[in-house]
Structure 1
Amino acid sequence: MAIGSKKISLLELRNHSRDGDAWTAINGTVWNISKLASAHPGGEEVIRDSYGRDATKTYNSVHGARLIARYLGEGARLGTLDGDESEDKVPDNGPESLGKNQGQFKMPALDSILNLYDFEDVAQKALTERSWAYSSGASNDSLTHAANVDWYRRIFFRPRVLKGVGEVDISTTILGQRYEIPIFNCPVSLVKLAHPDGELAVARAAVTNGTATIIPTMASFAVDEIVEVLPAGYPFFFQLYVNSDRAVTEKLLAEVVSLKPRAILVTVDLPVFGKREANERYEYKAQKQKQKQKQKLANARSASTAIDPQLQWKDIAWIKEVTGVPVFIKGVQCAADARRAYEYGCAGIYISNHGGRAVDTAPPGILTLMEIQANCPEVLSQMEVFIDGGIRRGSDILKAICLGASAICIGRPFFYALAYGQEGVERAFQILRDELAVAMQLNGITKLSEASPSLLNTAALDKYVYRSNSHPWAKKIDRSRL
């Protein structure tokens, strides 16, 4: 009998429940996960919770069925769980069982949703406690998260009139490819937490709206599964977390490159996970429910080996070399790094503070864009520029494009809209494209190429814009000779 076809009882499964000798059952298949804990992107504890038991419910709440085989390899497949001892008969006390569930809340009709804030209100009631903590939380005091939204509101328009705006074109061109709208999804990880179709629904909604999807490294589904739902040859981008083991990253990049992405977006603003207290409070509650003897809150922000804290600029050159694909730096937060990305031959930059989930009190994305305008505007004309963080209205999109962005990306609002599935994300896209078109018309322009800083009054923020890479007056103190 082949190893993978062996029948394994629950009793035998439970006998393999410790570090170095750990099995789990997922969707009827038993896997050896002895080496997985230290490498798991979500931290070790969630894997240890799966030792010696059927973890189907826990796994399926986050991942697509095919992902585990891609991650572990067929060599880790041990056999099948005895058919009379199915997952339905095994208590599953995984953390996803906490709190409210989708289906208990009657969601409003989709056509009653008028803006992105409405999606957030619905999601807070519709998502599980786990999903809400994951999506809504930010680092520490969430000051950057709040500022991302607030600082767009501090920029005012200077509309032009009598411009003949009966017809408006909101299309754009990125790396030579035309898109109907300058709107992409942020590469949010594990969006299956919002809906079973996860990234598949987001990708389909992007196609419906004539734009591309950005596929995250830590997606709920394998990359090729997501690409399969796109029309043949349809453009997509791929977001990359660089693994501490370069062989792992090189293997992943080879797979991605074979699928022909338009660009690789390398995330650089998260060498370690920020302190996300909403997640940690949830983890504490989940662990208390399971009556753990030790609370390991650090696991709520553990990145294991899946994200390399030693990533450096030289690694960007390596990624360009091994892929031959245009590379963006995702997580630019100052003009100096934007200039350096250009010097390293990057095709673009992606201005982001990780939605306020990295270091708290990092600058709002729109302030970073203004700093680049003040210090190295030539960079903006030589590279594509994506920006995310705090964009909630079509008018916000126009403000970012006026200041030099090529396109914007939407994170939490699309996650919240996904509570309605693909139709919810399509509705969110439609709201933004309608608001953008109206904002353009009311400002006297009919094409995005006509957007410019002259349409904006940024006086309320100008005092915050640094005009150099140095602090305007403070000096670094050197006490080495004391």
Structure 2
Amino acid sequence: MTLRKISASEISSHCHEDDAWIVINGTVWDITGFAAKHPGGPKVIADHVGKDGSSMYNDIHGPGLISSYLGPEKQVGVVDDLDKDSLIKEATKEPVIPKPDLKSIVDLSQFEQVAEMALKRRAWSYVSGATEDGVTHDANCEFYRRIFFRPQVLNGAGRVDTSTVFMGKKCAVPFFNAPTSSVKLTHPDGELALARASVAHGVPPCLPTMSSYALSEIVDVMPPSHPFFFQLYMNLDRSEAERTLREARDLGAQAILVTVDLPVMSKRQNRDRRQVQVQQDIETLEKKEEEIPAAGAWSHTPTNIAIDPDLQWKDIEWIRKVTGLPVILKGIQSAVDAKRAFEHGCSGIYISNHGGRALDTAPPAILVLLEIHATCPEILGKIDIMIDGGIRRGSDILKAICLGANVVLIGRPFLYALSYGEAGVNHAFDILKHELETAMALLGISSLDQAHPGLVNTSLLDFMVYRGNKHPWARYPVPRIGGSKL
């Protein structure tokens, strides 16, 4: 079907909440009613209705994602060639910062330093940011440094094997990419690069609900039948959630990682949050009323429809029935919930605090793993355990595995490595694998099957491990209602 050509003046007239068009890469889309459903919030949609939104769209999304969300029936037409230039606003060009030679990068912290200089400010703020004061974000890393190894000698560990079996599949290394949203912010290839690097290193990628590319586009860059895991944000619209789940199943997902630690969006702040740009704020306040974007005038629900804040245990069984796939709960932050997940038939748990981007001062992930040892060790070995948060070295990976994790997941470091594209992620994989091999040999083990808690000393953390409601004061609940009267 040939799409009709549409003039700029006609496009600009469709700029209202109940009649909204947008231009993406030359195609005109009818997005009426989509603002409230947009995973990134309604404002960015409202700011670009009746206009060309290609620049903003292409920074975050792959070319096929809009069609997978809206469907081809929402294509209104194409922009008349004579009017293309009048619709496109010239994007501000940021200076290109030269990066060090990739071969000079020898540990993951260097990728972070490069990314801070190389990424656009918006991308850097998004990737590096954490919730509120960043206490949990910082503790994730710090607590790994409080765990010491107890090396064994003369065990013949001259040749080590880093492979493991997870969910019945052999993996060349025990670390995967953590599922993160909008990866295209850090590199145009986004999740495609992460998927290809995962395949190259013999592990399944973890693909997110809020990806930059359509799920089918990511699966297409992998060999047929290569395993992958799908991370789910439960949509408020159950029919949309079911459509997403069935698509993931039909494309070959091995399991569903259900995110449970972010029922509402947290207050995200980047690292330079205290450096208030006073002059910029003043200029914004001094704008004339007619110059302020119309987005604020649009009505919309305060919650993000892409995430259901009322997700409950009964919904986990629904997910399992819809897909017929194993379910792993992503965002376990207490031993109590780890045991509940086991009792509700989950195949695994994913210990995570969203990289310090959910509830600030929630426990570091490795501390939760220690809590499971202290309060419900009977589930260890009966349920697969994933963990992320603060892992920056191959030795951190080994510590987590010694304490019972089956695999670990790498979030920010892989995104920082993407500042070099796919080659950077491959290099990050190689660095971690080499560090893991070295740590195993120095610890005195030749395979991950030999890793166990006796090989680490956690005494600097043991006093912080929660062990149940047996504190003396726990018998005296604090009253919440009432109290003395004047």
Q: TM-score, normalised by structure 2?
A: 0.92
**Structure 2 match to 1:476:** 477
Q: Does 1:18 align with 2:16?
A: yes
Structure 1 residue 84, shift from structure 2 partner: 2.2
Tell me, what secondary structure is at the counterpart of 1:262? Answer: strand
**Structure 2 match to 1:41:** 39
* Distance (whole Å) between structure 2 residues aligned to residue 77 and residue 269 of structure 1: 36
Tell me, what secondary structure is at the counterpart of 1:5? Answer: coil
Identify which of 161, 169, 191 aligns with 1:169.
Answer: 161
Amino acid at match of 2:408: I
* Distance (whole Å) between structure 1 residues aligned to residue 284 and residue 366 of structure 2: 40
Contact 1:158 1:455 in 2 (8 A): yes
Structure 1 residue 18, shift from structure 2 partner: 1.7
* Distance (whole Å) between structure 2 residues aligned to residue 447 and residue 467 of structure 1: 31
> In structure 2, do the counterparts of structure 1 residues 150 and 294 end up closer, same or farther at CA, with 3 Å as the change threshold?
farther
Structure 1 residue 279, shift from structure 2 partner: 9.7
* Distance (whole Å) between structure 1 residues aligned to residue 56 and residue 454 of structure 2: 52
Structure 1 residue 294, shift from structure 2 partner: 8.8
Amino acid at match of 1:478: P
Tell me, what secondary structure is at the counterpart of 2:350? Answer: strand
Contact 1:182 1:406 in 2 (8 A): yes
Please give the residue correspondences for 1:181-196 in structure 2 after superposition, counting only pairs within 5 Å.
Answer: 181-196=173-188
**Structure 1 match to 2:250:** 258
RMSD, aligned α-carbons: 2.4
Structure 1 residue 470, shift from structure 2 partner: 6.4
**Structure 1 match to 2:133:** 141
Amino acid at match of 1:38: A
**Structure 1 match to 2:113:** 121
* Distance (whole Å) between structure 1 residues aligned to residue 424 and residue 58 of structure 2: 21
**Structure 2 match to 1:90:** 87
**Structure 1 match to 2:239:** 247
Contact 2:445 2:451 in 1 (8 A): yes
Deviates more, 1:274-283 or 1:29-38: 274-283
Please give the residue correspondences for 1:383-422 in structure 2 after superposition, counting only pairs within 5 Å.
Answer: 383-422=383-422
- 1:165-222 Cα offsets, whole Å, 9 max, x none, are 1100000001111000001001010100011000000000001111110000000001
Q: Does 1:322 align with 2:322?
A: yes
> In structure 2, do the counterparts of structure 1 residues 423 and 89 end up closer, same or farther at CA, with 3 Å as the change threshold?
farther
**Structure 1 match to 2:26:** 28
> In structure 2, do the counterparts of structure 1 residues 288 and 228 end up closer, same or farther at CA, with 3 Å as the change threshold?
farther
> In structure 2, do the counterparts of structure 1 residues 472 and 212 end up closer, same or farther at CA, with 3 Å as the change threshold?
farther
Structure 1 residue 477, shift from structure 2 partner: 1.8
* Distance (whole Å) between structure 2 residues aligned to residue 362 and residue 217 of structure 1: 24
Q: Which runs of 5+ in 1 are unaligned?
A: none
Structure 1 residue 278, shift from structure 2 partner: 2.6
Deviates more, 1:414-423 or 1:376-385: 376-385
**Structure 2 match to 1:343:** 343
Structure 1 residue 92, shift from structure 2 partner: 2.9
Tell me, what secondary structure is at the counterpart of 1:243? Answer: coil
Structure 1 residue 292, shift from structure 2 partner: 2.8
* Distance (whole Å) between structure 1 residues aligned to residue 324 and residue 482 of structure 2: 48
* Distance (whole Å) between structure 1 residues aligned to residue 364 and residue 116 of structure 2: 24
* Distance (whole Å) between structure 2 residues aligned to residue 208 and residue 366 of structure 1: 28
Please give the residue correspondences for 1:219-258 in structure 2 after superposition, counting only pairs within 5 Å.
Answer: 219-258=211-250
* Distance (whole Å) between structure 1 residues aligned to residue 216 and residue 56 of structure 2: 23
Contact 1:335 1:469 in 2 (8 A): no
> In structure 2, do the counterparts of structure 1 residues 454 and 57 end up closer, same or farther at CA, with 3 Å as the change threshold?
same
Amino acid at match of 1:450: Q
Contact 1:333 1:365 in 2 (8 A): yes
- 1:274-299 Cα offsets, whole Å, 9 max, x none, are 10023997999799499637997xx9
* Distance (whole Å) between structure 1 residues aligned to residue 472 and residue 119 of structure 2: 46
Contact 1:7 1:80 in 2 (8 A): yes
Amino acid at match of 2:214: A
**Structure 2 match to 1:274:** 266
Deviates more, 1:68-77 or 1:167-176: 68-77
* Distance (whole Å) between structure 1 residues aligned to residue 222 and residue 294 of structure 2: 45
> In structure 2, do the counterparts of structure 1 residues 469 and 228 end up closer, same or farther at CA, with 3 Å as the change threshold?
farther
* Distance (whole Å) between structure 1 residues aligned to residue 384 and residue 158 of structure 2: 29
Please give the residue correspondences for 1:61-72 in structure 2 after superposition, counting only pairs within 5 Å.
Answer: 61-72=59-70
* Distance (whole Å) between structure 1 residues aligned to residue 432 and residue 83 of structure 2: 49
Structure 1 residue 458, shift from structure 2 partner: 0.6
* Distance (whole Å) between structure 1 residues aligned to residue 16 and residue 159 of structure 2: 65
Contact 2:8 2:86 in 1 (8 A): no
Contact 2:47 2:295 in 1 (8 A): no
Contact 2:115 2:417 in 1 (8 A): yes
